């Protein structure tokens, strides 16, 4: 296991543990308003300072990790399920099924993903569930194309022909023989997808179309910092740093997996 992978796992493991243990390690309630502690800089009582309503920034960032990481992981889980099924069917069966699935993916790829998500969220009610589902439903195309290309290169191999010769079902061939040999690069892509989904959620929340206050996410903490940027630098710095470190951690994991499996795409 290489160093990049270990560092990435350590970063994401630490952030995930903080998110899971948020009720136990958070020094304050994330929505607790304290009028006596407005815009306090980092101190012993508030290690990362407070915001314009006196809420503890460390507590809000810890609870925000739950939202941002959860949205990233679940959204990519949705896109992974759709992409793996679509790519497997297209690559294995070919013909009409392949044409329909790949042309559908091409049509989806014609639209800028962020603006497609932005328009959809603007029409629907902004909520955590809607954001997860929308990001998942608009980001499966790359995984489908990747799975399809891997299966196209595997389906004519001798072990697949042997499985067909002994009467293995299409489902058995795909699930037992093709997918286990095709998922390496998909996991690399999915890891990068989690980082991308977190950035998308942060951008949507920053624009006011993501997670709605008072529920804290790193994106809506950043938008709340705009009004006090000149006098309270810490409200911008620390959530931005949390996003940066998280994206860096997932990129380290993806690069580590890529090197581990020898995947050079």
Q: What is the pLDDT of residues 20-47, one digit of tens each?
A: 999 999 999 998 888 888 889 999 989 9
Digit-coded pLDDT (tens) for 104-163? 999 888 877 778 777 877 787 777 888 888 888 888 998 999 999 889 888 888 888 888
Joined together, the tokens standing for residue 24 give 């136990």
Report percent pLDDT > 70 for the chain.
98
Rounded Cα distance, 204 and 220, in Å: 9
Average pLDDT, the chain: 87
Alpha-carbon dihedral angle through residues 98, 146, 113, 78, given to the nearest 10 degrees: 90
Confidence of residue 263 (pLDDT cuts 50, 70, 90): low
178, pLDDT greater than 60: yes
- What is the predicted pLDDT for the residue at 16? 93
Please state which of the ranges 26-30, 81-85, 257-261 shows the lowest mean pLDDT. Answer: 257-261
CB hemisphere CA count around 175 (13 angstroms):
5
Greater model confidence, 249 or 114: 249
75, pLDDT greater than 70: yes
Confidence of residue 262 (pLDDT cuts 50, 70, 90): low
Q: Which of 224, 212, 202, 184 is nearest to 75 (CA)?
A: 202
Q: Which of 176, 198, 166 is nearest to 75 (CA)?
A: 198
Confidence of residue 82 (pLDDT cuts 50, 70, 90): very high
Domain boundaries, the chain: 3-26+56-261
264, pLDDT greater than 80: no
Q: What average pLDDT does this structure show over 4-33?
A: 92
- What is the predicted pLDDT for the residue at 156? 80
Q: Cα angle at 68 between 44 and 195, to 5 degrees?
A: 115
Q: Tell me which architecture the domain covering 3-26+56-261 has in CATH.
A: Orthogonal Bundle (1.10)
- What is the predicted pLDDT for the residue at 238? 93
């Amino acid at each position: 296991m290489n160093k990049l992978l270990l560092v990435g796992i350590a970063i994401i493991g630490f952030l995930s543990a903080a998110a899971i243990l948020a009720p136990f390690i958070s020094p304050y309630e994330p929505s607790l308003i304290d009028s006596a502690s407005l815009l306090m800089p980092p101190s012993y009582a508030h290690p990362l300072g407070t915001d314009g309503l006196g809420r503890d920034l460390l507590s809000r960032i810890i609870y925000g990790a739950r939202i941002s990481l959860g949205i990233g992981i679940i959204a990519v889980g949705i896109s992974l399920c759709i992409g793996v099924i679509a790519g497997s069917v297209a690559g294995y069966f070919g013909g009409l099924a392949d044409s329909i699935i790949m042309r559908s993916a091409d049509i989806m790829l014609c639209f800028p993903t962020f603006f497609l998500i932005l328009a959809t969220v603007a029409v629907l009610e902004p909520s955590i569930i809607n954001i997860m589902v929308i990001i998942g439903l608009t980001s499966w195309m790359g995984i489908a194309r990747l799975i399809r290309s891997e299966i196209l290169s595997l389906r004519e191999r001798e072990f697949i022909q042997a499985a067909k010769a002994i009467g293995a079902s299409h489902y058995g061939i795909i699930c037992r023989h093709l997918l286990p040999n095709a998922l390496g690069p998909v996991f690399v892509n999915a890891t990068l997808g989690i980082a991308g989904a977190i950035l998308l959620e942060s951008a949507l929340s920053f624009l006011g179309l993501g997670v709605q206050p008072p529920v804290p996410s790193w994106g809506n903490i950043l938008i709340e910092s705009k009004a006090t940027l000149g006098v309270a630098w810490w409200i911008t710095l620390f959530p931005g740093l949390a996003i940066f470190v998280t994206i860096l951690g997932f990129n380290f994991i993806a690069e580590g997996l890529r090197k581990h499996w020898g995947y050079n795409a």
